């Protein structure tokens, strides 16, 4: 039986990419019975009725899945944040990073609009970039206008499924237009090219960029830590996770416990104060969350 990858789901149809062919498929009733809902990004086994139509018979095991946007087997998230207009926000970036880390997706921080930053703003962004690199993240500084940093970003997209995520107005569409000019995505507007038009239901689509696939989605429409427990949070901050190996007590939350390796690193200036503060704020938010029954 042929196999392929779902690259678009719309109105009960699943569009399966098999090599270079796109087959429009429906799901067999067995999926509904077993409560399996095929997702964009799924590797599937299908049966072709003809060159253009078929049925999905099996969904292969997923390595991860997101609820918003509904997509599976994501390799990495390109977290797009602007240097200015809107101003760079470490707290918002850290929220995105926690969600990405929790879902076992590789994050790449992409800071756009560097051409609009003045000298002081440039220095600030460079320092933030340095700190996030020390924490363990890949950081790429870009400009869609001057195409700075694009040659650094391109290799990361090869043979991967990537989600572009970030707040509105940071330049995601401009960045995609530079990566694939024929898309002609309207900036700060709705893309009719990718089927968004006046549809009330937003759908996810994987578009080809080089030898990789990029999810055409705003990504993470919910930034709440709904499924993250307090004990999960340390692992979502790589530098805090490393420092926690020196904590005296297992299960240390790095708040008021004695001989805490994380607080020692913060006091020594090896973990930025704002990263630690965000950790504490997120921890409190999770602890204050209403219990689910």
- State pLDDT tens for residues 236-291: 999 999 999 999 999 999 999 999 999 999 999 999 999 999 999 999 999 998 77
Assign 42 a pLDDT band (cuts: 50, 70, 90).
very high
Among the residue ranges 64-68, 93-97, 154-158, 199-203, the one predicted with the least confidence is 199-203
Domain boundary among 13, 42, 61: 61
Domain count, the chain: 3
Question: Can you tell me whether residue 123 is helix, strand or coil?
Answer: helix
* pLDDT tier for residue 293 given thresholds of 50, 70 and 90: low
Output 93 or 183, whichever has higher pLDDT: 93
Under the banding of pLDDT at 50, 70 and 90, the label for residue 186 is: low
- Among the candidates 14, 32, 61, a domain finishes at 61
52 closest CA partner among 94, 24, 74: 24
Q: Which residues are registered as beta bridge partners of 34?
A: none
pTM: 0.87
Confidence band (pLDDT; 50, 70, 90) for 216? low
Domain for residue 222, yes or no? no
Question: 84: domain range?
Answer: 71-216
**Looking at residue 193, what is its pLDDT?**
43
Within this chain, do residues 39 and 86 fall inside the same structural domain, yes or no? no
Which two tokens mark 93? 């970036």
Give the model's pLDDT for residue 69: 78
Q: Is residue 224 part of a domain?
A: no
Does residue 31 lie in a domain region? yes
- Rg over alpha carbons for the chain, rounded to the nearest Å, is 21
**127 and 182 inside one domain:** yes
Write the pLDDT tens digit of every residue in 83-135. Answer: 999 999 999 999 999 999 998 999 999 999 999 999 999 999 999 999 999 99
For 82, phi then psi, to 5°, come to: -90, 150
Q: Where are the beta strands (DSSP E) in 168-283?
A: 205-209, 212-216
Average confidence score pLDDT of the chain: 88
Rounded to 5 degrees, what angle do the CA atoms 238, 281, 78 make?
45
């Amino acid at each position: 039986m042929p196999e392929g990858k779902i690259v678009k789901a719309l109105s009960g149809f699943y569009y399966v990419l098999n090599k270079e062919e796109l087959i429009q498929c429906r799901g067999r009733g067995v999926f509904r019975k077993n409560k399996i809902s095929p997702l964009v990004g799924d590797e599937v086994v299908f049966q072709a009725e003809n060159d253009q139509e078929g049925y999905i018979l099996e969904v292969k095991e997923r390595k991860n899945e997101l609820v918003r946007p509904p997509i599976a087997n994501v390799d990495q998230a390109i977290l797009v944040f602007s240097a200015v207009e809107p101003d760079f926000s470490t707290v918002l970036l850290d929220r995105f990073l926690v969600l990405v880390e929790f879902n076992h997706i590789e994050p790449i921080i992409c800071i756009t609009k560097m051409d609009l930053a003045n000298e002081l703003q440039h220095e600030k962004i460079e320092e933030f970039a340095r700190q996030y690199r020390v924490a363990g993240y890949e950081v790429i500084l870009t400009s869609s206008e001057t195409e700075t940093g694009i040659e650094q970003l391109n290799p990361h997209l090869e043979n991967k499924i990537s989600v572009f995520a970030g707040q509105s107005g940071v330049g995601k569409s401009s960045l995609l237009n530079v990566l694939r000019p024929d898309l002609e995505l309207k900036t700060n507007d709705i893309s009719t090219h990718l089927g968004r038009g006046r549809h009330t239901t937003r759908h996810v689509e994987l578009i080809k960029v080089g030898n990789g696939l990029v999810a055409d989605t705003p990504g993470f429409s919910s930034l709440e830590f709904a499924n993250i427990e307090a004990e999960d949070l340390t692992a979502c901050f790589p530098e805090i996770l490393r420092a926690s190996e020196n904590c005296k007590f297992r299960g240390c939350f790095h708040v008021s416990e004695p001989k805490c390796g994380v607080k020692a690193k913060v006091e020594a200036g090896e973990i930025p104060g704002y990263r630690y503060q965000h950790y504490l704020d997120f921890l409190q938010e999770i602890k204050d969350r209403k219990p689910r029954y």
